[in-house]
Amino acid sequence: MRMTEAEIIEELQEALADGGATDAFTTPELAQMLNIGHAAVRRRLKVLQSAGRLEPVRVMRMSLTGTMRRCWGYRIIHASGSDTEDPKVWVPS
């Protein structure tokens, strides 16, 4: 399959507009959503990581200078074999 230059540019623009992984959040985003401090978010992420339920991914976010940059975001993985959500763990909807 060959793509034209215009198709490649369109794909890249869509990817940038999407901002990367939409189900992954940065530490500051989680802190704001959960109304807790950054250190508290990191402690919770470490618990999820120890349980094998955290996937670090690179996401695109707007910097203070107005440019898009890659930074680390975190995707929470549901516990395997569990049909119900764990009430102790926040999972983005």
CATH number of the domain encompassing residue 32: 1.10.10
Q: Do the Cβ atoms of 75 and 55 come closer than 8 Å?
A: yes
Cα→Cα distances 65→35, 61, 69, 84, Å: 25, 11, 10, 42
3-state DSSP of 24-65: CECHHHHHHHHCCCHHHHHHHHHHHHHCCCEEEEEEEEECCC
61: in domain: yes
Domain that residue 27 falls in: 23-93
pLDDT score of 85: 52
pLDDT in tens, 49-69: 998 989 999 999 999 999 999
Mean pLDDT, range 29-45, rounded to an integer: 90
83: in domain: yes
14: in domain: no
Cα–Cα distance for residue pair 6/64, rounded to 1 Å: 30
Within 10 angstroms of residue 86's Cβ, the number of other Cβ atoms is 14
Mean pLDDT, range 20-43, rounded to an integer: 86
Q: Please state whether the predicted TM-score (pTM) of the whole model is above 0.75.
A: no
11: in domain: no
